[in-house]
Amino acid sequence: MLAAHEIFGFMSPALATEIIEQLHNADKESYRSVLASVAQAHRVRPVFLERKPRAEQHKTIVESLCKPRLETTAVAALQSWLLKQQTQMLTDFLDALGIKHDKGVVDELPKEMPDDKLQAAVEGLLAKYPHEKVAVYLRAFNDLSQANWPNLAKMLETDPRLQLGD
């Protein structure tokens, strides 16, 4: 199981930067919160980071989100990105599994999922979405929620298409 800061650490720098860019463009509140947490971790005021060129700002944020001390911020950034930017992928997966949800938000997950149903749902995602984004979502789903399904964990460890950093 990976923590959110480890997910950020293992994903490609391009995807991590894309996540931060999308937060900046589409979810200003989450972006400001992430920026404030990073500034606090660096013991500077947020305005110090805001004055840097955006590419440098985002690089600093991505590097910081890979650190254990910003785990809570990394979780929040991943959740915001997934729920607001990757809603269709979440709903496709949950629909394929037959799990009730509200735009990707689930109240209660089953304790386990049959292998054949899970395999079909994962294959559906891999056929439709970039593999690394699917891997990030499934990692977050299994490792950061109450799912923790052993069969999904095994798929994440053994399927080369679900490896981070590609």
pLDDT digits (tens, 9 = 90+) for 128-138: 999 999 999 99
Q: How crowded is residue 46: how many other Cβ atoms within 10 Å of its Cβ?
A: 15
pLDDT over 90, % of the chain: 83
pLDDT over 70, % of the chain: 99
- Interacting residues of 14 by C-beta distance below 8 A, sequence separation 6+: none
C-alpha torsion sign, points 149, 152, 158, 162? negative
Total domains in the fold of the chain: 2
Which residue segment(s) compose the domain that 123 sits in? Answer: 87-162
Q: Is the pLDDT confidence value at 67 over 90?
A: yes
Within 13 Å of residue 144, how many CA atoms lie on the same side as its CB?
A: 23
Last residue of a domain, one of 85, 114, 142: 85
pLDDT for res 91: 93
- Specify the pTM: 0.89
Last residue of a domain, one of 66, 85, 104: 85
Q: Is the pLDDT confidence value at 166 over 80?
A: no
Is 129:135 a contact under the CB 8 Å cutoff?
Answer: no
Last residue of a domain, one of 85, 114, 144: 85
Q: CB-based burial of residue 33 (10 Å sphere; 0-12 exposed, 13-18 middle, 19+ buried)? A: middle
pLDDT for res 86: 93
Q: Is the pLDDT confidence value at 46 over 70?
A: yes
